[in-house]
């Protein structure tokens, strides 16, 4: 009975969601291709291999007639534990920083921003601001 309880407790700890990263920022649209409510898709490709994560969020106009838009998205994280499959739909992080290819795509347009970012366990519950111009 005791071993059964230890196994259940161990499994429940693996399934507890961890605080993610709140990513937010502004986009200045000099191209005039973005409209209120346009969906921005953020995709994270692990450079070391593994599951890709995509998150979508609507863009909000920052004032009437403005070409500034704001966004906010939560990047879910889960800790990498050798031999245990982490929850799906999250970025797997460990103690060391790992590189990811971050791609922002605006709606169905050709507006795309790509760069390398790094994530680790130390990023749990943090905020990142990322703003750019098109």
Query: pLDDT tens for residues 41-99?
Result: 999 999 888 889 999 999 999 888 788 999 999 999 988 777 777 667 888 888 899 99
Question: For residue 128, is it within any domain?
Answer: yes
Tell me if residue 133 falls in helix, strand or coil: strand
**For residue 101, what pLDDT band results from cuts at 50, 70 and 90?**
very high
Question: For residue 121, is it within any domain?
Answer: yes
Question: For residue 9, is it within any domain?
Answer: no
> Distance between CA 76 and CA 35 in Å, rounded?
27
Are 93 and 126 within 8 A, CB to CB? no
Looking at residue 125, its pLDDT comes to 94
Task: Please list, in sequence order, all residues whose beta carbon lies within 8 angstroms of the beta carbon of residue 133, skipping any fewer than 6 positions away.
Answer: 27, 28, 30
- Provide the total of helices (H) and of strands (E) in the chain, helices listed first: 1, 10
Question: For residue 51, is it within any domain?
Answer: yes
Looking at residue 116, its pLDDT comes to 96
Looking at residue 83, its pLDDT comes to 74
**Average confidence score pLDDT of the chain:** 85
Looking at residue 31, its pLDDT comes to 82
> Distance between CA 14 and CA 117 in Å, rounded?
25
Question: For residue 70, is it within any domain?
Answer: yes
Question: For residue 108, is it within any domain?
Answer: yes
> Distance between CA 98 and CA 121 in Å, rounded?
10
Residue 127 DSSP symbol? E
CB crowding 72-91: b at 16 or more within 10 Å, else e: ebebbbbbeeeeeebeeebb
| Domain total in the chain | 1
**For residue 118, what pLDDT band results from cuts at 50, 70 and 90?**
very high
Question: For residue 63, is it within any domain?
Answer: yes
Give which of 26, 28, 37, 19 is closest to 91, Cα–Cα: 19
Looking at residue 15, its pLDDT comes to 43
């Amino acid at each position: 009975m005791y071993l059964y309880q230890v196994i259940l407790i161990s499994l429940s700890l693996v399934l507890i969601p961890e605080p993610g990263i709140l990513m937010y920022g502004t986009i200045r649209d000099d191209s005039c291709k973005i409209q209120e409510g346009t969906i921005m898709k953020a995709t994270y490709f692990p450079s070391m291999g593994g599951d890709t994560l995509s998150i979508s969020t609507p863009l909000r106009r920052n004032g009437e007639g403005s070409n500034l838009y704001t966004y906010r998205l939560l990047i879910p994280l889960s800790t990498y534990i050798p031999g245990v499959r982490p929850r799906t739909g999250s970025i797997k992080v460990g103690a060391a920083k790992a590189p990811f290819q971050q791609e922002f795509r605006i709606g169905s347009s050709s507006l795309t921003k790509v760069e390398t970012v790094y994530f680790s366990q130390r990023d749990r519950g943090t905020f990142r601001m990322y703003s750019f111009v098109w």
